[in-house]
Chain A
Amino acid sequence: MSVSILGSRESGQNIRDTNVRAVQAVANIVKSSLGPNGLDKMLVDEIGDVVISNDGATILRSLEVQHPAAKVLVELSRLQDQEVGDGTTSVVIVAAELLKRANDLVKYKIHPTTIIAGYRLAMKESIQYIKDYLSVKTETLGKDAILNVAKTSLNSKLIGAESDHFANMIVNCVEAVGIVGPNKDVKYPIKSIKVLKCIGLSAKESVHLNGFALMTGRTAQGMPTSIKNARIACLDFNLNKFKLQMGIQVLVNDAKNLEKIRIRELEITKERIQKVLKAGANVVLVTKAIDDFALKYFVEAGAIAVRRVDKKDIRKIAKQCGAEVLITLMNNEGEEVFNESSLGSAEEVTEERLGDNDFIFIKGMKKSSSQTLILRGANEFMLDETERSVHDAICVVKRVLESKSVVVGGGAVETALSIYLDSFARTLGSKEQLAISEFAESLLVIPKTLAINAAQDACDLLAKMKMYHAASQSSSEEKKQEYKYVGLDLANGKVRNNLKAGVLEPTISKIKSLKFATEAAISILRIDDLIELAPKPEKERDGH
């Protein structure tokens, strides 16, 4: 009799079966959303809020998965979302398949560690193979390649019908934010792309703006709606009546002085504003409040003042228009001054009305690398989903522009790897051989699912693809080399050269998703015991 535990315990083959089933269930949920013919899920929470999504990470995050092993998978898709931004569905499907096949091997009495070793080896080999043979440099493909990458990512989403429009927008947008780093490599900080949502019109009317947009109106109606040659001041302090810190009390002996204090309070803010305006500022952005009494000075000076600008936004604006975000006007001598050098400049600042909201646009900034996408759509759910899809595409484009290498999509890479690993496995004489061939077989789940989602004959298509890839790997003929780009054409239910058809994905996304999926499968595979502790009994007993 073993030491008893407070709680339940499951071990050995039992727990492995349970885990595999849980993981399988999660994968089944997202399976139907994979690929250009994947469908969406509608998730309703208890208040009745609706999320409509095609993004694996979003779906799983909203689902409140309870099983611990299944949670690993949810984490996995979140990780993929953070690291790559796209491919969140496929990573889950591959991991689940790897696990299922590993479990079958364990049933044949192969020790899990052997399988793990085999999987690790297979993963390393496949990554090497992708890098050496399957990836294509974007230089050889031209600008269209990058557009195609964006389109491939968008095609599986709600806005797939407008993928041309969005792909163009996104590629222009990401290219515009490029910054040349110290080592001459170009970085694309996608944080400089601001995505705003505005209900109304249709998805096709979404626009790309070279500049920055704020989703607020100007503070007073008397201010102009448009200013050319704007000089921008960014202030990070209150323009309210001056107020001493909490806890400071002023003791007044003479009643006349009381009035003076009051007037002084107003004067301090007024002086500050006038200093800023005097330096030539005609657009003033403030992160905090502006008192009503202060607005008059801006109106009279014909300046636009915007209050409660998000701190993150103001920093970005300041960086790009060359302004300084001032926390105080104090200088070293203790006097309050506002230098002209703290002002930034932009060609134009305007307020425009889209739908029912006011937007402030800052266009033509000095170091302009900031881009704004304004998404339009029929309703909120649609806009949310559009935003997620656009985010995925932006991430993908960024990856491709930075790594400059792509692989062919539509199941081509997976099939090629599967064929390669299969033959690689035969060169090994140990038990790992079995694990590697199972790994090879697991990868095929991607083309299979793609075909099933498109309601095509998966077996037939897979056989054709395998044939082409085997031919390309076994012979060195020029013509047959082309066959390694053969992937699925889901609309017509055929196979085709997907490199020519422009179905492309970033190499790094494929590599990372392989890595993550294998690691996740391994970590679940290693489990052979699940101990669930019962919650501690309540200390307070009801009185009997």
Chain B
Amino acid sequence: MIPGNSAPVIVLNTNTQTDDGKRAQLANIRASRAVADIIRTTLGPKSMLKMLLDPMGGIVMTNDGNAILREIDVKHPAAKSMIELSRTQDDEVGDGTTSVIILAGELMTVSEPFFTMKIHPIIIVSSYFKAMDHALKVAEKIAREISVENHEEIADVIHSCIGTKFSSRWGSLIVDLAVQAVKAVFINKNGKKEVDIKRYAKVEKIPGGNLEDSRVLNGVMFNKDVTHPKMRRFIQNPRIMLLDCPLEYKKAESMTNVEMTKEEDFAEILRQEEEEVCKLCQAIMKFNPDIVITEKGVSDIAQHFLLKQNISVIRRIRKTDNNRIARVSGATIVNRPEELQESDIGTKCKRFEIKLVGDEYYTFMEECEEPKACSILLRGGTKDVLNEIERNLQDAMSVARNIILDPKLVPGGGAVEMHVATELTKIANSIEGIEQWPFLAAATAFEVIPRTLAQNCGCNVIRIVTELRSKHAEESKDAPYWGIDGNEGKLADMRVIKIWEPLVVKKQTFKTAVESAAMLLRIDNVVSGISKKEKKQGPAGNIEDAEI
């Protein structure tokens, strides 16, 4: 880089490590392949779980791509960027986190020969983008629309998505939970569809019991007990009042000093404080509620007053829980008890009950009219199992949400990817110039999904993938629907075994994978370890050894 033969001129910080040209490109490719290899075995119905130990000693057991990669600490920048992908996928559609990484890794891998053939990266990138456009069109073409009202079909789709997960052992249980939960929080307000799983569908995990005891509540539940043991724990048709203020004496915000000269003054102040609390309680009692729930604290004296009126009190619940209760009971959250109105009282919830589950008390508010929020109660052997089931359930709910928002489906089981690959190969022949090569490579990259599926179920990969390819090459109407039955390791018509996936998930997978691969391919220089501290390690060590 530096001409001349005198002493080298130090221009850059000497602590940096620079990789340029082909070295950087190949390192990026290897890094992304290594990431893909980590989670390759978690794709499909015969997938295996990963057990991860975090630095604190905690255990995560999962086969959710995002959950695995989130825990892994990688050093290579390209690998980091790959890991970000699964997060994007999770945020946007909530499913397909594994396939996006595998596809992106494959797109990188197939580009490697072009670097040795000295094809300009820009050409590779532009033909990848072209391939993506075509792939999206192909996927769109074989998609079919279903009716949102059709419960069974939605259940089928979720079933096929969840079929790959740990919880598939319990059959349709998770699927039913997901469908019910999403239906509960679905709001269709003048054509604007809203499904807010994050806020209104809460998963409560209680270790113990059987998984079969899990259910979606027609209402909400939370881990709280009444503040005083004598309060009622079971109420039919309660009047519910929600507060977000403390029921104790509040100090003023401004600095106030009280100057006391006589002893009586002191008593007076204490009395005053008591009186205030009493006034608060009276304001509440005027509306004759059966349950008072507040986000803040409740003083002993307030408890005493309310208990006398036979009112059950629950304190210190979370804001998010309170919002959900407001939704199911129809109550408004009130801050100042003296400003209560009759309309603020919620009566839509028909049954209030506190039950001892395991060794903790839980409040159940059930039998609500049209609840627009819900809690999902999960029971199961251990906490780790429950955590994994929760992740599965989140995926299932995302799938259900995606279908309700955009009810278009494509065949799963690698069928759509294989179809895309076949179609792209056909199109490739019509492309002129060097771009044809990378385009063709992108087409074959899509085959990685059926191939990995076949690999994971332990069948003869080459035979079955070839067979699938020939099925798709046929000009028949059924061609696009042939995929791999991951359980049997055979080819099957996806319409028959009912493996469907939402189109949005697939589209997002294609887009994210291609765009990120394109970004990484454009890099020709990696400068790492900027800044003064000690020399940093370059690419993570294990990447060199990684092989497919």
Q: Does chain A bind chain B?
A: yes
Residues of A that sit less than 8 Å from B by CB: 17-18, 21-22, 24-26, 28-29, 32, 36-37, 39-46, 48, 50, 52, 54, 62-67, 70, 158, 160-162, 199-204, 221-222, 225-226, 240-244, 247-253, 255-256, 258-259, 261-262, 265-266, 292-296, 299-300, 353, 355-356, 377-382, 385, 454-455
In the complex, whether B334 has a CB less than 8 A from a CB of chain A is yes
Distance from A9 Cβ to chain B, minimum over Cβ atoms (Å): 15
- Closest B residue to A454 by beta carbon equals B120
User: For A203, A262, A265, which residue has the most chain B Cβ atoms within 10 angstroms?
Assistant: A262
In the complex, whether B252 has a CB less than 8 A from a CB of chain A is yes
Q: Are B530 and A378 in contact (CB-based, < 8 A)?
A: no
B508: chain A residues at CB < 8 Å are 200-202
In the complex, whether B78 has a CB less than 8 A from a CB of chain A is yes
In the complex, whether B256 has a CB less than 8 A from a CB of chain A is yes
Q: Are A259 and B335 in contact (CB-based, < 8 A)?
A: no
Q: How far apart sit A226 and B81, CA to CA, in the bound complex (Å)?
A: 36
Q: Using A40-B524, A45-B530, A259-B272 as known contacts, say yes or no to A377 and B515 having CB atoms under 8 A apart.
A: yes
Distance from A385 Cβ to chain B, minimum over Cβ atoms (Å): 7
Which stretch, B3-11, B170-178, B407-415, touches the partner chain A? B3-11
A248: chain B residues at CB < 8 Å are 254-255
Q: How far apart sit A65 and B12, CA to CA, in the bound complex (Å)?
A: 5
Distance from A57 Cβ to chain B, minimum over Cβ atoms (Å): 15
Which stretch, B84-92, B442-450, B489-497, touches the partner chain A? B84-92
- Closest A residue to B14 by beta carbon equals A66
Q: Are B530 and A63 in contact (CB-based, < 8 A)?
A: yes
Tell which of A26, A37, A241 touches B11, judged by Cβ atoms closer than 8 Å. A26
Query: Can you give 25 A-B contacts (C-beta < 8 A)?
Result: A39-B522, A40-B522, A42-B527, A44-B77, A45-B529, A48-B77, A48-B80, A64-B530, A160-B126, A199-B88, A199-B91, A200-B92, A201-B92, A221-B326, A242-B254, A244-B253, A248-B254, A249-B255, A249-B257, A261-B254, A262-B251, A292-B244, A293-B335, A356-B92, A454-B122
Distance from A261 Cβ to chain B, minimum over Cβ atoms (Å): 5
In the complex, whether B436 has a CB less than 8 A from a CB of chain A is no
Q: Are A25 and B2 in contact (CB-based, < 8 A)?
A: yes
- Closest A residue to B343 by beta carbon equals A300
Q: How far apart sit A90 and B80, CA to CA, in the bound complex (Å)?
A: 31
Q: Using A52-B519, A258-B258, A355-B91 as known contacts, say yes or no to A25 and B524 having CB atoms under 8 A apart.
A: no
- Closest A residue to B75 by beta carbon equals A48
Q: Are A255 and B530 in contact (CB-based, < 8 A)?
A: no
Q: How far apart sit A54 and B516, CA to CA, in the bound complex (Å)?
A: 15
- Closest B residue to A377 by beta carbon equals B515
Q: Are B258 and A46 in contact (CB-based, < 8 A)?
A: no
Tell which of A48, A54, A158, A261 touches B518, judged by Cβ atoms closer than 8 Å. A158
Q: Are A29 and B255 in contact (CB-based, < 8 A)?
A: no
Q: Are B272 and A250 in contact (CB-based, < 8 A)?
A: no
5 shortest A-B CB distances, which residue pairs? A293-B335, A202-B511, A379-B84, A200-B92, A44-B528
B10: chain A residues at CB < 8 Å are 66-67
Q: How far apart sit A248 and B245, CA to CA, in the bound complex (Å)?
A: 26
B251: chain A residues at CB < 8 Å are 262
Q: How far apart sit A295 and B259, CA to CA, in the bound complex (Å)?
A: 35
Q: How far apart sit A292 and B91, CA to CA, in the bound complex (Å)?
A: 29
Q: Are B4 and A296 in contact (CB-based, < 8 A)?
A: no
Tell which of B129, B198, B252 touches A258, judged by Cβ atoms closer than 8 Å. B252
Tell which of A46, A204, A378 touches B519, judged by Cβ atoms closer than 8 Å. A378
Distance from B182 Cβ to chain A, minimum over Cβ atoms (Å): 15
In the complex, whether B477 has a CB less than 8 A from a CB of chain A is no
Q: Are B254 and A161 in contact (CB-based, < 8 A)?
A: no
B115-149 near A? 1/0 per residue, CB < 8 Å: 00010111001100100000000000000000000
Q: How far apart sit A38 and B51, CA to CA, in the bound complex (Å)?
A: 43
Q: Using A222-B333, A242-B253, A455-B120 as known contacts, say yes or no to A42 and B77 having CB atoms under 8 A apart.
A: yes
A48: chain B residues at CB < 8 Å are 75, 77, 80
In the complex, whether B13 has a CB less than 8 A from a CB of chain A is yes
A293: chain B residues at CB < 8 Å are 244-245, 335-336
- Closest B residue to A261 by beta carbon equals B252
B313-356 near A? 1/0 per residue, CB < 8 Å: 00000000001001000001111100100000000000000000
- Closest B residue to A35 by beta carbon equals B122
Distance from B535 Cβ to chain A, minimum over Cβ atoms (Å): 10
A381: chain B residues at CB < 8 Å are 81, 84, 519
Q: Are A43 and B11 in contact (CB-based, < 8 A)?
A: no
